[in-house]
C-alpha cells in the first residue's frame, strides 16, 4: 500500500480491535501498519502537520508507570490527528490494590473514549483492561511482556534506512529478561524474516528463550559478528541491587557497546536504542551520538508516525464495527 493516509485508506490490512502485542500478528498486518506510517513521516516533516481524521474522538493516555517520552509521543500523534487527548498518570505505588485496575477501566469506559493507550508495570495488565473496555486499546508497554509500538517504530526505522527487514541479522543486547522491547522486537523481526541474536549475561537471559526462534550469546564479540543492526537495551540500573550483574562498571566492560566491540559487526551496522540511554553503562556516548551509525533520534521521529498509523487504524476499525452493529440492530 502506498501512502494513503487520508480518507481513501483501506483498513483491511489490520482488522484487530486492539493492539496488545506483536505476537500473533501476521507479516502483512505488520507491513500494513508500517506502510501507513510511512505516509505520516512525510506529513510530520511538512509545515502543516495536522489531519482531521480523529476529530471528535477521545484518546486517553493511561500511564501507571512514568514515561515522558512514550506518553508525549502518543499525545502528539493523537493531537496531530485532531483527537481530544487526556493524560492520566497513576502512581502505581499508591494503588497496589488491583481491583482499582478494573474500577479504573469501568470509570474510563463511562467516559466513552475511542482509544485507550495503557502502560502498566505488570505483564498482562493491559490485556486484562482491554477485556473490560468498549474502546480500542493500545499496549504502551506492559511489564516485561510487550511494547508493540516500539517494535513497529524500530522496524520502520530499519526499513527506511536499509530498504527492508528480511534477511537482516539483528543483535538485541542487554537486559533481555526484563525487556518488553526485546520480546516485541523478537516477534516482529522474526515474523518479517530477520535473524535475531540475543546477547546478555546469563542472569539477564530468560529461560528457554531460544524457543522463540533466536540465537543466544553471552559474548558481545561473537554475538555481534556480521550483524546489520545492533539494538541496545536499557539496563534497568534499579535492578542492580538484585545481583543480576555485579556493577555498572563490570557490565559496561563486558556488555556495553563501544567502538572496540562494534568492530565485530558489519562496518555500516546501525545502532539503535529505545531510550532513555544510560551513557557509559550500556552504550558509549560517542557511539550514541554518531550521526552516521546511530539512528536513535530517528527512532523517536518514527515513533510519532507509527502511533498515528495505529491510532488511525484502530479508530477506524472500532467505528466500522460499531456501525455494522447498528446496521444489524436495525
Partner 1 sequence: MTVLPPKHRTAYVNARLLDPASGLDAPGGLLAEDGKITDLGPGLFKDGLPEGAQRVDCGGACLAPGLVDMRVQIREPGEEHKETMVTAGRAAAAGGVTSMVGLPNTEPVIDDVAGVEFIARRAREAKGVKVYTYAAVTRKLEGKELTEMGLLAENGAVAFTDGLKPVENAQVMRRALAYAKTFGLLIVQHPEEPSLAGGAMNGGELATRLGLPGIPKLAEVMMIERDLRLVEMTGGRYHVAHVSTAESVEAIRRAKDRGLDVTCDTAPHYFALNELAVGEYRTFAKVSPPLRSEDDRIAILEGIADGTIDAIASDHSPHDQESKRLPFGLAEPGIVGLETLLPLSLQLYHWEKCGLLDLLAHLTVKPAGILGLDAGRLAKGAPADLLIFKPDLSWKIQPDSFESKSKNSPFEGLPVQGRVVRTVVDGRALFEAA
List interacting residues with partner 1 (CB under 8 A): 23, 96, 98-99, 101-102, 120, 122-125, 127-128, 142-146, 180, 183, 206-209, 211-212
Grid cell, residue 96, equals 497496589
Beta bridge partners of 139: 118
Spell out the residues 6+ positions from residue 52 whose beta carbon is closer than 8 angstroms to its own.
Answer: 81, 82
Closer to partner 1 by Cβ: residue 13 or 143: 143
* Shortest distance (Å) from residue 316 CB to partner 1: 25
**Shortest spacing between CB 129 and partner 1, in angstroms:** 9
For residue 64, the minimal CB distance to partner 1 (Å) is 10
Nearer to partner 1, 206 or 275 (CB): 206
Nearer to partner 1, 26 or 285 (CB): 26
Closest CB to partner 1 among 177 and 306? 177
- Closer Cβ to partner 1, 129 or 245, answer by number: 129
| CA–CA dist 36, 5 (Å, integer) | 6
Alpha carbon distance 142, 139 (integer Å): 7
Least separation in angstroms between residue 72's CB and partner 1 is 24
Ordered strands of the 229-232 beta sheet: 215-217, 195-199, 169-173, 229-232, 270-272
For residue 290, the minimal CB distance to partner 1 (Å) is 31
**Residue 192, CA distances (Å) to 189, 292, 304 in order:** 5, 25, 22
Amino acid at each position: 500500500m502506498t501512502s494513503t493516509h487520508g480518507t481513501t485508506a483501506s483498513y483491511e490490512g489490520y482488522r484487530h480491535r486492539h493492539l496488545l502485542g506483536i505476537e500473533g500478528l501476521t507479516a502483512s498486518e505488520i507491513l500494513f501498519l508500517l506502510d501507513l506510517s510511512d505516509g505520516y513521516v512525510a506529513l510530520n516533516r511538512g509545515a502543516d502537520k495536522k489531519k482531521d481524521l480523529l476529530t471528535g474522538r477521545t484518546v486517553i493516555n493511561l500511564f501507571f508507570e512514568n514515561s515522558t517520552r512514550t506518553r508525549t509521543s502518543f499525545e502528539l500523534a493523537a493531537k496531530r490527528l485532531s483527537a481530544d487527548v487526556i493524560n492520566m498518570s497513576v502512581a502505581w505505588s499508591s494503588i497496589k490494590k488491583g481491583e482499582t485496575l478494573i474500577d479504573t477501566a469501568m470509570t474510563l469506559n463511562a467516559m466513552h473514549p475511542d482509544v485507550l493507550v495503557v502502560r502498566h508495570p505488570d505483564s498482562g495488565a493491559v490485556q486484562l483492561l482491554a477485556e473490560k473496555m468498549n474502546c480500542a486499546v493500545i499496549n504502551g508497554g506492559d511489564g516485561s511482556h510487550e511494547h508493540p509500538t516500539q517494535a513497529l517504530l524500530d522496524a520502520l526505522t530499519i526499513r527506511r534506512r536499509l530498504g527492508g527487514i528480511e534477511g537482516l541479522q539483528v543483535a538485541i543486547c542487554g537486559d533481555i529478561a526484563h525487556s518488553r522491547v526485546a520480546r516485541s522486537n523478537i516477534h516482529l523481526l522474526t515474523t518479517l524474516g530477520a535473524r535475531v541474536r540475543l546477547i546478555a549475561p546469563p542472569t539477564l537471559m530468560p529461560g528457554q528463550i531460544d524457543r522463540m526462534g533466536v540465537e543466544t550469546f553471552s559474548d558481545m564479540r561473537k554475538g555481534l559478528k556480521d550483524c546489520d543492526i545492533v539494538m541496545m537495551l536499557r539496563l534497568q540500573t534499579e535492578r542492580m541491587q538484585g545481583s543480576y550483574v555485579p556493577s555498572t562498571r563490570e557490565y559496561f566492560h563486558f556488555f556495553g557497546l563501544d567502538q572496540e566491540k562494534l568492530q565485530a559487526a558489519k562496518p555500516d551496522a546501525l545502532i539503535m536504542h529505545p531510550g532513555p540511554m544510560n551513557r557509559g553503562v550500556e552504550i558509549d556516548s560517542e557511539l550514541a551520538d554518531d550521526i552516521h551509525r546511530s539512528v536513535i533520534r530517528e527512532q523517536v521521529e518514527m515513533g510519532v508516525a507509527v502511533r498515528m498509523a495505529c491510532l488511525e487504524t484502530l479508530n477506524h476499525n472500532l467505528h466500522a464495527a460499531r456501525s455494522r452493529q447498528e446496521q444489524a440492530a436495525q
